[in-house]
Amino acid sequence: MSVQTNSLAERVSELQDFINNGKILEAMSEFYSDNVTMQENSETPTQGLEANIKREQEFLSVVKQWNWTKWNAVAINEQEGVAILEYSFEFVNTEDQTVIYEQATVQRWVEGKIVSERFYHG
């Protein structure tokens, strides 16, 4: 693994670009640590990149078309390696329904990779 020289703000911006373009799985390979932990609200966390990619593939299997992502707020603490993002996105599912989803996420970064991420949504 190469050591990232970009700032956390630059890495988060790059991640946003991937998501804006619907490149969710590519983003996971680029920005997530092999031993990442991801958690939805207070559910049991999913451990490891492979398991999280599988979880994301299940979500994406119902996405027919990615329409847009809107970033409402981004807060970054470079020293602590923490990014907090609030955003919404719209997609068309495989049943031709338009879905708008809103959530916030807290990401913990080490050496340019996300090591833990927790999503908050209603």
Nearest to 19 by CA among 62, 56, 47: 56
The pLDDT value recorded for residue 22 is 86
Which residues neighbour 117 within 8 Å (Cβ) at sequence distance 6 or greater? 32, 36, 37, 38, 39, 105, 106, 107, 108
Tokens of 90: 């719209």
Q: Is residue 2 part of a domain?
A: no
CATH code for position 72: 3.10.450.50
pLDDT, residue 2, reads 47
User: CA-CA distance, 54 to 84, in Å (whole number)?
Assistant: 24
Q: Where are the alpha helices (DSSP H) in 21-100?
A: 24-31, 49-60
Section 81-98 average pLDDT: 97
pLDDT at 4: 52
Would residue 3 count as lying in a domain?
Answer: no
* Residue 96 lies in domain: 8-120
DSSP designation for 32: E
Total domains in the fold of the chain: 1
2-14 pLDDT, tens digit each: 445 689 999 999 9
User: Residue 112's pLDDT is what?
Assistant: 95
Which three-class secondary structure state does DSSP give residue 43? coil
Mean pLDDT of the chain: 94
Q: Is the pTM of this model over 0.85?
A: yes
Average pLDDT value for residue range 24-29: 96
